[in-house]
Amino acid sequence: MEFKYDNTLRHRPLTPFRVVRGLICLVVFLSTAFMFLAYFAPPVAVMLRFLSLHYSRKATSFLFALWLALWPFLFEKVNGTKVVFSGDSLPVRERVLLIANHRTEVDWMYLWDLALRKGCLGHIKYILKSSLMKLPVLGWGFHILEFVPLERKWEVDEPVMRHRLSSFTDPQDPLWLALFPEGTDFNEQKSKRSQKFAAEVGLPILSNVLLPKTRGFCACLETLRGSLDAVYDVSIAYKNRCPTFLDNAFGVDPSEVHIHVRRIPICEIPISDSDAAAWLIDAFQFKDQLLSNFKAQEYVGAVDFAPASLPLEDSSKNVICVMPKQRRPMGEGGLL
C-alpha cells in the first residue's frame, strides 16, 4: 500500500504527531482484534454454534460491534472527519441488501458510521474478494463473521456465494449484507474500459462509477428476497480527494464524507433476473448523476435535498443529518 505525502493535496499536513497517533491507533486496533479472536471467538463462534446458530451469531455480532465502534470513533472524534448523511429516513434494525459505489479502498469502512447509527454495526457482512480473507488477524475475523469471499470468476463464485447466502435466510438473524456491484474501486483507467464496454453493448456510459456487475446482485435477491425488508442504495463521496487507508489512520484525509441513502422496499425490486439487472443499471445511472452534482456543488443530492443541521441519535458535532425535501423516483424505464 503506497502512501506519498503531498501537502498541496491533503486536507491536513502529515505531522510527526499524526504519524505517532496513527501508529498507536493501529496497534490498539490490531491487538484488541487479536484478543477478541483468541479469547472470545472459540467459545462464542465455535462452541456456542453447536448449540444454537442464532445465539452464536447474536453473541458474535455483539462482540464485533464493540470492536468496530473504535473505527467511527477514530474517524469522527480523533480525526475530526465530518460525516454528512442525506436521503431517505431509515427504520432501525431492518434486514437489508446494501449496494454502494466503490470510490476507494476505504469505502466499506464508512458504512460502519451508518450502521452504528441504526444499531446494526455488528450485523454488517461484506461480499469481498477472497484475498482479503487471507490477511493475518483481520482475515480470521472475516471468516468468523461469515463474510462472503469471491474469486471474481462467476463459474467459481456462484456455488460458493449461493451456499453462503442460503445460511442468511433466517429472518430472526439481523442482517446488513453489503455488496459493491462495480467489483473493484474506481479509477480513470477502469472507467475508460467500463465506458468502452458500455458503448459496445448499448448500456449507459457512466462518468463517476463503473458499470455494475449484475449477477451477484441477482443471486443475492434470488436467495434472500423472502427474508429482506429493503435494498439500501448508498452513494459515497469525499470532499477534495479520495482517501487511502493510511490517510484515515494518520488523520490527514478526508475532511468530509458524504453518504446519500435511498431506501427501496424489496417488493419494488423486479423479480426476474433481467429486470433486476436493468434496475441495478438504472440505480447506478442515478448514482452517477448524484456524484456529478457533488463534483459541481460539493454536496451529494444538492438538487433534490435541502441541507438542514439536524443531529442524529448521538448528537455528534462531526455529523450532519440532511433530511429529504423531495425524493426523485425511479421508474421501470429509467430516471424520471
Residue 285: predicted pLDDT: 95
Start-end of H helices in 167-310:
188-201, 215-224, 245-250, 273-297
Q: Is 4 within the bounds of a domain?
A: no
Confirm whether 8 is domain-assigned. no
* CATH number, residue 97: 3.40.1130
Evaluate whether residue 5 is within a structural domain: no
User: For residue 247, which of 114, 136, 131, 104 has the smallest C-alpha distance?
Assistant: 104
Report whether the peptide linkage leading into residue 307 is cis, meaning its omega lies within 30 degrees of zero. Answer: no
Tell which residue, 32, 163, 165, has the closest CA to residue 95.
Answer: 165
- Sign of the Cα torsion 142, 143, 144, 146 reads positive
pLDDT computed for residue 320 by the predictor: 44
Q: How does DSSP assign 75-121, residue by residue?
A: IIIIS--EEEEEES---SS--EEEEE---STTHHHHHHHHHHHTT-G
Q: With beta carbons less than 8 A apart as the criterion, state whether 83 and 39 touch.
A: no
What is the sign of the dihedral through the CA atoms of 14, 18, 20 and 22? negative
Grid coordinates 433534490 are at which residue?
Answer: 304
pLDDT number for residue 266: 96
Q: Which helix (H) or strand (E) holds 156?
A: helix 154-166
Give kind and range of the element (H or E) at residue 71.
Answer: helix 70-72
CA atoms within 13 A of residue 88's CA, in its CB half-sphere: 17
**Per-residue tens of pLDDT for the chain, all 336 residues:** 333 444 445 678 888 999 999 999 999 998 988 888 877 777 777 778 778 888 888 888 898 898 889 999 999 998 889 999 999 999 988 999 999 999 998 899 999 999 999 989 999 999 998 888 888 877 888 888 889 999 888 899 999 999 999 999 999 999 999 999 999 899 899 999 999 999 999 999 999 999 999 999 999 999 999 999 999 999 999 988 889 899 988 988 888 999 999 999 999 999 999 999 999 999 999 999 999 988 887 655 443 332 332 233 333 344 444 433 333 333 333 222
Residue 7 falls within a domain, yes or no? no
Q: Which pLDDT score is estimated for 299?
A: 57
Q: 37-92: per-residue pLDDT in tens?
A: 877 777 777 778 778 888 888 888 898 898 889 999 999 998 889 999 999 999 98
In this structure, is residue 2 part of a structural domain? Answer: no
Distance, in Å, from the CA atom of 62 to the CA atom of 59, rounded to the nearest integer, reads 5
With CA atoms as reference, report the closest residue to 270 among 331, 211, 213.
Answer: 331
Please tell me the total count of domains within the chain: 1
Which DSSP letter does residue 317 get? T
Which domain covers residue 52, as residue numbers? 16-335
Q: Does 124 reside within a domain? A: yes
Within a domain: 9: no
pLDDT per residue as tens digits for the range 276-317: 999 999 999 999 999 998 888 765 544 333 233 223 333 334
In Å, what is the CA distance from 248 to each residue of 6, 16, 75, 114, 117?
15, 15, 7, 17, 20
